[in-house]
Chains A and B, each alone.
Chain A
Amino acid sequence: MTDIREINEKIQSESAFVELLHMEMGKAIVGQRHMTDRLLIGLLSNGHILLEGVPGLAKTLAIKTLASAIHAKFSRIQFTPDLLPADLLGTMVYNQKREEFTVRKGPIFSNFILADEINRAPAKVQSALLEAMQEKQVTIGDQTFHLEEPFLVLATQNPVEQEGTYPLPEAQLDRFMLKVIIDYPSKEEERAIIRQNLSLDSTQVQPVVSSNEILRARKTVREVYMDEKIEKYILDIVFSTRQSDQNGLGNIRRMINYGASPRASINLALASKAYAFIKRRGYVIPEDVRAVCFDILRHRIGLTYEAEAENITTDAIISQILNAVEVP
């Protein structure tokens, strides 16, 4: 067993900070391991995350804690119907003293951005954010500014209040690498949350990893070995969303309006590598693909009206696909 030893050893040393990061985040956040893992996947794969969950599930705290643990700048933007792109990106301000326009940068110039309730702002603000996410640069007036790395946007959506919202179009949803659904904590976790919040001891999250280490880890993630069999497995899954009559999945064909894009295949492969890295492994196994599959695909599959009428979710369709596609 020698072939993979080198890459495994490299991953072992490079991913040492992952446990430290988890421990540090655990000081402020109880449970929500799924969410913190996905935050790391987004961070390591240079992707952005759309979080969906009811209020009060520590979404803001999670990204704030992550920013503190990495010693990075953090901004929180509350999206409202009257928000303007300039409020987000920045604007030109006239300086009377100097008699010239100067640039005032907006809150997007941070490493970690929490775009809270992104669907409450009109399309032009959403577009401004998503463009910045994609291009990693912002133009104000005639000057273009590159956004500082690492740059991670965590947008949140509230699944219960849909009145007065501007749902994100499918094309923009596709730009989020992961769509994570956060559930309530368990009883034990919630007890620990109560105790932690009522305690007089205030725990300070200390920086345990530098931005440079994260950037280096990003490169290492891409070196994680992915066998052809795994690539085929990823393609089988993604293609099943488009040609669902394969693998005996004819029954879900009428439920799918449109399948996942090639961006889904890319992101599924990259997220699988990142997950293997978090698990401190130098190669991808089918478990890694399955672990991130729901988060990668759930916002990339369009349901038909028929499926919506029958309350069938994309998660149910992904489950069916995973149960039908043969594991290598």
Chain B
Amino acid sequence: MKSLMLSVLCCILLDSISMATPVPDSVYARLDTNAILLGQQVKLKITYQGNTKSKLVFPTVADTFSNLEVVERLPIDTIVKDGGSLSLSQTFTITGFDSGYHVILPFEFLMLGPKQADTTKLFTQPLLLSVQSVPVDTTKSIKDIKNIEAVPFSIWDHLGWIILAIGAFVGFILWKKFGSKLKSNQPAIVQTPPIPCHEKALKELDELNKKQLWQNGYYRQYQTELTDILRTYISERWDVGAMEMTTDEILVLSFIPSNEIDGIGYVLRLADMVKFAKGIPHGDENIRCMDVTRKFIKENSDGKIELLEKSV
């Protein structure tokens, strides 16, 4: 019993001593396997173990080293063990495309001290990786590249389009069925053909005549309305801004027939006298103005009628 108690005590003591003893700093590199085929991938793991308080610098592994290529690099993994020791490791997936034996040179870890002289370097052991070529059976004929393999059809991949197509089809059927009914409920829009400018002007002249303006002493209003009808007709007939033109400017318009200039010149100048000089025209002058304007509109409307008929 005493010996048992002593041995248990010794074990506990030894264990506590071993736990208290600091783990020495060590670094190592390991490969999953030492031999791969061309292009095959292998994991390389570099590890540090120890209790260092100083700053540790992991080795910088280039994308290509020792004729081997890094395919993937994982972040540094840190494990804190019981007793405060650290284990830092980084795993790389590497591959080789050159057959032969490739020596993976030692990786250098730096432990930076407070001073430059305190900096220590640790190196992993070198590794040997054998990359072997794939054996080719030269006795067999060379085969062509394989065709692209078809992806197996899955209805779930096309479900959205199918629903959309069904929805559109249903919508079209509904529109065909009820759309015409809705349309028939709306009041029909009757499109009236535009009234030719000469017809409009002649109608306005008739209306002006009916007003009996000059007969009742409204000479000014009569002449103003008469010339407004004439100017509007010229504007619409030849597409010019006759409403913004003076009498002189209208009379020099190239498209006014030369035999009409005297006539409409008489109308416009007389209207100017009435409008701007308090002129009082005689009754026969007012009648003559109406006749000249009516004649001018009638005789110059042919082209416009033709154009309108063609456009309709």
Contacts and interface: CB of A to CB of B under 8 A. Distances in A.
Q: Is the pairing of A and B real?
A: yes
Nearest to B242: A327
Given A323-B241, A327-B243, A327-B244, A1 B276 contact: no
A311 B178 CA distance: 61
Chain B contact-residue range equals 10 to 19
A19 to B, nearest CB: 20
A325 B241 CA distance: 10
B272 A285 contact: yes
A125 to B, nearest CB: 42
Interface in B150-170: none
A140 B169 CA distance: 100
Contacts of B279: 1, 3-4
Contacts of A290: 246
B91 interface: no
A: interface residue count bin: 20 to 34
A284 B246 CA distance: 12
A316 interface: no
B281 A1 contact: yes
A143 interface: no
Contacts of B246: 285-287, 290, 327
A325 B244 contact: yes
Interface in B268-287: 272-273, 275-281
Interface string B221-264: 00000000000000000000101111110000000000000000
B243 A326 contact: yes
Interface string A300-328: 00000000000000000000001111111
A3 B280 contact: yes
A283 B277 contact: yes
Contacts of B280: 1-3
Contacts of B241: 323
- Most chain A beta-carbon neighbours within 10 Å: one of B243, B278, B280, B281: B278
Contacts of A327: 243-246
Contacts of A286: 246-247, 272, 276
Contacts, number: 54
Contacts of A283: 276-278
Contacts of B245: 327
B244 A326 contact: yes
A284 B276 CA distance: 7
Contacts of A1: 273, 279-281
Interface in B45-99: none
A284 B278 CA distance: 11
A242 B77 CA distance: 79
Contacts of B243: 326-327
A227 interface: yes
Contacts of A227: 275-278
Nearest to B269: A285
A62 interface: no
A282 B246 CA distance: 18
Contact of B275 (A3, A229, A323): A229
A285 B245 CA distance: 12
Contacts of A4: 273, 277-279
Interface in A1-29: 1-4, 8
Given A285-B247, A324-B244, 11 more contacts: A1-B281, A3-B280, A4-B277, A8-B277, A230-B276, A283-B278, A285-B272, A285-B276, A286-B272, A322-B244, A328-B275
Interface of A: 1-4, 8, 225, 227, 229-230, 282-287, 290, 322-328
Give the top 8 A-B pairs by smallest Cβ distance, nearest first. A283-B277, A3-B278, A4-B277, A227-B276, A286-B246, A287-B246, A1-B279, A326-B243
21 contacts: A1-B279, A3-B277, A3-B278, A4-B277, A4-B279, A8-B277, A225-B276, A227-B277, A227-B278, A229-B275, A229-B276, A282-B277, A287-B246, A287-B247, A287-B248, A290-B246, A323-B241, A323-B244, A324-B244, A326-B244, A327-B243
